[in-house]
Amino acid sequence: MKSATSCRFWQAVSGAVVLSGIVANAPVAHADSAPAVDAGAPDAGTPAADILVTARQRPEPAQTVPAALGVVSGAWLDRSLAVNTQALTTLVPSLAYSSANPRNTAFTIRGLGSSVVAVSQANDGLEPGVGFYVDGVYHARPATAAFDFSDIERVEVLRGPQGTLFGKNTTAGAISLTSRLPSFTPAATEELSVGERRLVQARASATGPLVDGVLAYRLSGLLTRRDGVIHNVRTGADQNSVDNQAVRGQLLFTPSASVQLRLVADYSRFGGDCCTQVYLRVGTSLRSASRQYAALAAAAGYAPPSTNPYDRLTDIDAGLGVNTNEGGVAATLDWNLGSATLTSISAWRFWNWDAANDRDYTGLPIQLTQHIPSRQDQVSQELRLASNGNRPLSYVAGLYYFRQVITGQPISIYGGYGAPWLLGSTTSNGTAIPANLLDGYGQTGQTRFAVNSYAAFAEANWKVLPRVTLTGGLRQTWEDKNGQYATTVFGGPTTSNAALISARLSVLRPQSYAAATHDSSLSGRANLAWQVTDRVMAYAGYAQGFKSGGINMSGLPLDSANQPVLATAVIRPERNITWEGGIKSQWWGRRLTLNLAAYHTTVRDFQATVVDSSQTVALRGYLSNIPRVRVQGVEADAALHWGGLTLTGALAYADGRYTDYPKGPCPLEVQTAATTACDLTGKALTGLSRWSETLGADYRLPAGRGEFVLHSDTAWRTSYNGDPSLSRYTWIDGYTLTNASLAWRNRRDGGPGFELGVFARNLFNANYIQNLTIQAGNSGLILGTPSDPRTLGVTLRAWQ
């Protein structure tokens, strides 16, 4: 294994060098004043530069937008070595991210969104409550947010319902990534990081003119490889490794001063020996003692390789690996008509997914195979007209079309110890169950889910007084969804015994159904902003969000007769009402920024993925509506610029509750053989920390012809429950994570140069759990994904 691992390491280093060389040697002329990747901090007498955003579809300072939003510049992302959405959560406290593997990825804003927090709870028929956009293009599958991104100009995190200004309607907020534009000024950057566990990360970009003043290009790429952090004592492999690549090419065509066409093509791949979890703890239920983990493990003569999750040891015996990719093309046309700008965004994207998993997470042959090869294609078209200039009445209006089709092939096969672990020794009528009853028994099938979405939206800003602006926006959405699900079972020992056949069907049974839903809804928002002084603004707003109904695409729960409950195939639309108020201010000559926001959100028919705790095997969750959810909180953020020092901080308090949830999944500790549902009304919302905080620091000290640069980012979150059942055994403790770097660069004021530095990810080697899973069968075994251990390394950057 060491020889193969060493070979992969040097292949990664070679690939990184080649990537940097290819991009750096693209046709770029030398420029004495190439665009800076990281702008210098202002001196003590200079105010901080305005951070421009496009949250309202026009460039404007973030401080003039009357709404709560988080903005992270590309320079700060580069300095933080943040290349994916998970790393972004260390910079924005109201954003939470959970990913047991790329398919089972979810992010929430203020606790709302698609709160998938455990393995096997992703459902293709559920659209996310948080929109994910790259250069204005909506990405429908949350899994694509697990991919690495590079060459980013800025990231905007918009909180609360969106849809009256652009794109797809979302109820919880949006994450908007804007990549760096091609430039007619030639420039190139290269970056190579090498660290522990054979970490290799390379990033490179180049830009310049192809036809001076008319056609420019930009090419960027990224490669990340790292050995696994969980050691398999059975196979000797280090699992949960990383093997990612991404490339993006752009053309910018400017035939006249009023017309700009941007063409983008990108491709990303996410691979590795991933993803597994380790023993976290064991909980107990009210089921028979013989059907709980202690007795089951003793009967099998089994013990996990460690009961300390931070030993990061596993002994899984089934194959493991992930191979997924995504990409697409987009064309963005901006035509300045004088009084307004017409924008067209046309895009096609795809996503492919396949992975092998060991879903029992033990060294026992309970389940041999579980994966869902999938393919998603989407097309979108947005047409938008936005007024230009600062005038008493400004507006944005547009039309939007979106279509996606997802196909899948669910595959699941059980092994020789499946029956003793999941079914026991006898059926309910006393029939003896052969130990090999599930050996080779499996399920396969086909799924298809399609969506057509149409919308018209508009928003206007009216200055009713010189310092008072009233905003109103509306969106009408029409959506059609249809899904087909069909599975069959196969294999296993031949039997004609009705009791044994029924027992086997309680684990996997054939299902076939089709469902459709058609929704239309009017949503909107209103906002009143008062510019108290030139540097202080107060605002208050009201917003309604809408998310159309969903279709269960992972199979249906079973009734007491062991039959699918067809009434659960379709879930109702989700509706959201948010009240928000805040103050934005700047002080000390704009060196200090202080912002404060408070909000209150109620959600009716909250769409969520739950696990049916009454089933023998709960491998897959299903969609359901939670009658009512409420989240309220306060958020504060600040930034200080003083000389070479930049300090940033953000603090979020959130109180989320299920205010009406009479038929929720039951916590493990109250489950019996007959348990069906539990009242979770009044309980805390899954996956939401009450307190979260981020702190950042960037200090530059001139030294000769260069400067030293010290950077750090710290994220702190309090504890939360990691499973929809809200069991006391699924509590995840809070944690503090710190990343830091120290470098010397011979580059000042954005000119050519290089930088050499050291970095530490998880500087203080914090141990925490990223997400957890209750093992299928409700034995009481809880698995978790431990944090990555501290990683030290060196980084070399160069600018031309």
Residue 276 confidence (pLDDT): 92
**What is the band of 204 on the pLDDT scale with cuts at 50, 70, 90?**
very high
Q: Using the predicted structure, report yes or no on whether residue 36 has a pLDDT greater than 50.
A: no
Lowest mean pLDDT among 552-561, 571-580, 712-721: 552-561
Residue 562 confidence (pLDDT): 63
Q: What is the pLDDT of residues 73-83, one digit of tens each?
A: 888 888 887 87
Residue 24 confidence (pLDDT): 37
Q: What is the pLDDT of residues 739-793, one digit of tens each?
A: 999 999 987 666 789 999 999 999 999 999 999 988 877 899 999 999 999 999 9
Q: Is residue 691 part of a domain?
A: yes
Q: Is residue 322 part of a domain?
A: no
Residue 80 vs residue 518, higher pLDDT: 518
**What is the band of 201 on the pLDDT scale with cuts at 50, 70, 90?**
very high
Q: What is the pLDDT of residues 241-277, one digit of tens each?
A: 999 999 999 999 999 999 999 999 999 998 888 889 9
Phi, psi (degrees; rounded to nearest 5) at 710: -110, 130
Residue 120 confidence (pLDDT): 44
Q: What is the pLDDT of residues 119-161, one digit of tens each?
A: 445 688 888 889 999 999 999 988 777 778 889 999 999 998 8
Global pTM exceeds 0.85: yes
Residue 254 confidence (pLDDT): 97
Residue 612 confidence (pLDDT): 57
Mean per-residue pLDDT over the chain, rounded: 88
Q: Is residue 208 part of a domain?
A: no
Residue type, 651: L
Residue type, 491: G
Distance of alpha carbon 460 from alpha carbon 684, whole angstroms: 37
Q: What domain count does the chain have? A: 1
Lowest mean pLDDT among 37-51, 336-350, 582-596, 765-779: 37-51
Q: Is 421 left (phi over 0), alpha (psi -120 to 50) or beta?
A: alpha
Q: Using the predicted structure, report yes or no on whether residue 434 has a pLDDT greater than 50.
A: yes
* H runs (alpha helix) in 67-190: 74-80, 85-88
Strand blocks (E) in 127-258: 130-134, 137-139, 152-159, 173-179, 187-195, 199-211, 215-226, 230-232, 238-239, 242-256
Q: Is residue 498 part of a domain?
A: yes
Distances (CA, A) of 770 to 172, 589, 733: 22, 41, 10
Lowest mean pLDDT among 165-174, 489-498, 710-719: 165-174
Residue 498 vs residue 566, higher pLDDT: 498
Cα R_g (the chain), whole angstroms: 27
Please, are residues 297 and 303 in contact by the beta-carbon 8 Å criterion?
yes
Distance of alpha carbon 624 from alpha carbon 779, whole angstroms: 24
Q: Using the predicted structure, report yes or no on whether residue 620 has a pLDDT greater than 60.
A: no
Q: Is residue 209 part of a domain?
A: no
Residue 797 confidence (pLDDT): 94
The pairing of beta strand 105-109 with beta strand 112-113: antiparallel
Q: Is residue 660 part of a domain?
A: yes
Distance of alpha carbon 241 from alpha carbon 484, whole angstroms: 35
- CA-closest candidate to residue 385, choices 345, 356, 420, 419: 345
How do the residues of the chain divide into helix, strand and coil, expressed in percent and rounded to 5? Answer: 10, 55, 35
Q: Using the predicted structure, report yes or no on whether residue 316 has a pLDDT greater than 70.
A: yes
* H runs (alpha helix) in 433-561: 498-505
Q: What is the pLDDT of residues 454-493, one digit of tens each?
A: 999 999 999 999 999 999 999 999 999 999 999 999 999 9
Residue 674 confidence (pLDDT): 73
- What is the percent of the chain with per-residue pLDDT over 90, rounded to a whole number? 67
- CA-closest candidate to residue 146, choices 115, 106, 174: 106
Q: Is residue 269 part of a domain?
A: no
Strand blocks (E) in 283-366: 313-314, 321-336, 340-353, 355-356
Q: Using the predicted structure, report yes or no on whether residue 564 has a pLDDT greater than 90.
A: no
Neighbours of 254 (CB within 10 A): 18
CATH number of the structural domain spanning residue 66: 2.40.170
Lowest mean pLDDT among 218-227, 444-453, 500-509: 500-509
**What is the band of 618 on the pLDDT scale with cuts at 50, 70, 90?**
very low
Domain hosting residue 163, numbered range: 31-180+235-240+275-310+334-373+387-446+467-799
Residue type, 509: R
Q: Using the predicted structure, report yes or no on whether residue 712 has a pLDDT greater than 80.
A: yes
Q: Is residue 767 part of a domain?
A: yes
Residue 146 confidence (pLDDT): 73
Q: What is the pLDDT of residues 650-703, one digit of tens each?
A: 999 999 999 999 988 889 999 887 767 899 999 999 999 999 999 999 999 998
Residue 10 confidence (pLDDT): 43
Partners of 798 in beta bridges: 190, 754
DSSP 753: E
